[in-house]
């Protein structure tokens, strides 16, 4: 059964981007990048993997879904698909599919689309942002992987942006954790059976 995995960098105060969608608030250096390439190669942009001489492992997931604002840096950089090693879906009502043929534009209810996507054959699906899309898909998230960075953003995009009810992490189980020398701690949670908002099994 495919799972929806929300893997994302966050600040100590729960922001996945600072004001004006600024992600440069998160510390990064070459050593940390190489460690991520070894541990989470499927989650790095294809061009970054090539820079490190690393091939994606294909063991984490084979599909990525993101919101319009998460896709914007790729547009600004002239990248047709930032994750060319994955099947890429962008949820947007404003982007034209004909202008972005290398990704699949989803102009539909994201929750309904993801329910259908999870029923298709394949590996796990990575939700890489943004916060509003994560809030819309919160009941469907099976695994939550937080890269907790030693920074306080103060403002910006929330981890679950715009949700009108608490996301109860007491209904989740910590299954893995790793600390990196840069000060980032990666925490992995799996949703417990019967957890709040648990989606129906798919097969």
Domains assigned to the chain = 4-191 (3.40.430.10)
166: exposed, middle or buried (C-beta count within 10 Å: 0-12, 13-18, 19+)?
exposed
Q: Looking at the predicted structure, is the pLDDT value of residue 198 above 60?
A: no
Q: What is the pLDDT of residues 98-154, one digit of tens each?
A: 999 999 999 999 999 999 999 999 999 999 999 999 999 999 999 999 999 999 999
156 near 163, Cβ under 8 Å?
no
Q: Per-residue confidence at 203, pLDDT binned at 50, 70, 90?
A: very low
Q: Per-residue confidence at 79, pLDDT binned at 50, 70, 90?
A: very high
């Amino acid at each position: 059964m495919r799972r929806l995995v929300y893997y994302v960098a966050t600040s100590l105060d729960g922001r996945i981007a600072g004001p004006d969608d600024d992600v440069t608030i998160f510390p990064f250096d070459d050593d940390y990048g190489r460690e991520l390439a070894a541990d989470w190669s499927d989650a790095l942009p294809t061009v970054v993997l090539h820079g490190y001489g690393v091939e994606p492992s294909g063991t984490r997931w084979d599909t990525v879904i993101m919101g319009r604002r998460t896709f914007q840096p790729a547009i600004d950089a002239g990248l047709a698909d930032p994750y060319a090693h994955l099947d890429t879906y962008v949820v947007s009502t404003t982007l034209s599919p004909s202008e972005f043929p290398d990704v699949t534009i989803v102009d539909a209810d994201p929750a309904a689309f993801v329910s259908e996507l999870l029923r298709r054959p394949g590996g796990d699906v990575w939700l890489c942002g943004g916060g509003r899309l994560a809030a819309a898909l919160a009941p469907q998230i099976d695994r939550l992987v937080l890269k907790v960075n030693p920074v306080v953003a103060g403002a910006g995009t929330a981890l679950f942006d715009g949700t009108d009810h608490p996301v109860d992490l007491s209904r989740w189980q910590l299954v893995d954790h790793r600390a990196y020398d840069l000060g980032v701690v990666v925490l992995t949670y799996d949703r417990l059976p019967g957890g709040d908002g648990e989606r129906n099994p798919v097969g």
